Amino acid sequence: MPFLEDVLPTDLKPALLIGNGINRYGGSQNASWEGLLKKLSNQQGLSLSDDEMKEMSNTEFFDILDLGRPLEEKVSLQKAFCDLMTDWRHSSHHSKIVTWAKSKRTPIITVNFDENLSRSIDAKFIRSKEGFTDYYPWSSYFSDQAIDTPRNSFAIWHAHGMMRYRRSIRLGLTHYMGAVQRARHWVYAGNGLRRSAKDHTSTWRGSDTWLDILFHSPLLIFGFGFGKDENFFRWLFLERARLQRLDESFRQPAWFIDVENASSKHRRPFFERLGMQFVTVPSYSDIYEASFWSTPTP
């Protein structure tokens, strides 16, 4: 089985797309979306069997919980969810991976709401100056300095929202559909991504956001369970493939890293049909403790 250093070209500086596996590695079994949703359901007195849970995705389950809340309830379920993460802490592997990205001046996109990645190196929060909304802070980021070009700079971006802006948290199916609707307009509108690709320009509606990285950069993806409820990112990956088909000059490699298991066999066809390499490694330590993260800056 290949390891990271065997798969990636040594001269490549891919953007990192990181899921919640980075928080769960090392024994943090409490750091799971499923566990947090179960705690919320227990707080609301909703008990479902395993078979009943299998019939709905995590995103649908969140919406069911939200619909079950009293109308007069002042605390949003997004805030209640974030409150359960307040004791999460970063580990040495967070720091090692973020330090690698910083040394390479390459971006990180995470779907995590916590700030463990940025805290691991004391990165500062930089809020976008124009068009800011706490529902979709897509042009705000964490870094050691202000940046101009997302795809060529080190910064940590939160694609599904961040704890400091509770209304930005994307948890329910309704939230995901709203994100797709917003991003789709940016892709297909007159000043959108596809027009930019046809005109061979670098400026489009999302050029100052993490979306520019996802569509234009080589990607190293890890830490994802990537179940069927990942509606938003599945759609984004499909649009990335369509963009590359529209113009070959936009083609960039991508690697989805996973540990060999029964689920990984079923994920493989989706990524390979989109032109991504699906790589399995023997254990999670081969991802989070890989010598690759210690490679010197060229």
pLDDT at 28: 60
187's tokens:
């892709």
pLDDT at 13 over 80: yes
pLDDT in tens, 129-171: 778 899 999 999 999 999 999 999 999 999 999 999 999 999 8
Residue 48 to residue 292: CA distance in whole angstroms: 43
Give 264's pLDDT tier (boundaries 50, 70, 90): confident
Q: What is the mean pLDDT of residues 258-283?
A: 87
| Beta-strand pair 156-158/108-110 | parallel
Residue 117 CA to chain centroid, in angstroms? 12
Mean pLDDT check: name the lowest of 47-61, 187-201, 221-235: 47-61
Q: What is the pLDDT of residues 80-109, one digit of tens each?
A: 888 888 888 999 999 999 999 999 999 999
Whether this prediction's pTM lies above 0.95 is answered by no
* pLDDT-derived band at 261, boundaries 50, 70, 90: confident
Query: pLDDT grade, residue 298 (50/70/90)?
Result: low
List own/partner pairs for 277-280 with CB under 8 A and 24 or more apart. Answer: 277/7, 277/253, 279/2, 279/7, 279/255, 280/1
Average pLDDT of the segment spanning 1-6:
68
pLDDT of residue 291: 87
What are residue 280's DSSP bridge partners? 258
Chain length of the chain:
298
For 105-157, where are the alpha helices, taking DSSP H only? 116-119
Check pLDDT > 70 for residue 208.
Answer: yes
User: What's the helix, strand, coil split of the chain in %, to 5?
Assistant: 45, 10, 45
Q: What is the rounded distance in angstroms from the CA atom of residue 211 to the CA atom of residue 222?
A: 18
Q: Which has the minimum average pLDDT: 50-64, 99-113, 158-172, 177-191?
A: 50-64
- Cα(157)–Cα(217) distance, integer angstroms: 14
HSE (side-chain half, CA atoms, 13 Å) at 245: 9
**Which pLDDT score, from 0 to 100, does residue 72 have?**
61
* Percentage of the chain exceeding pLDDT 70: 94
Mean pLDDT of the chain: 88
* Stretch among 112-121, 122-131, 143-152 having the lowest mean pLDDT: 122-131
Q: Is the torsion defined by CA of 158, 81, 26, 261 positive or negative?
A: negative
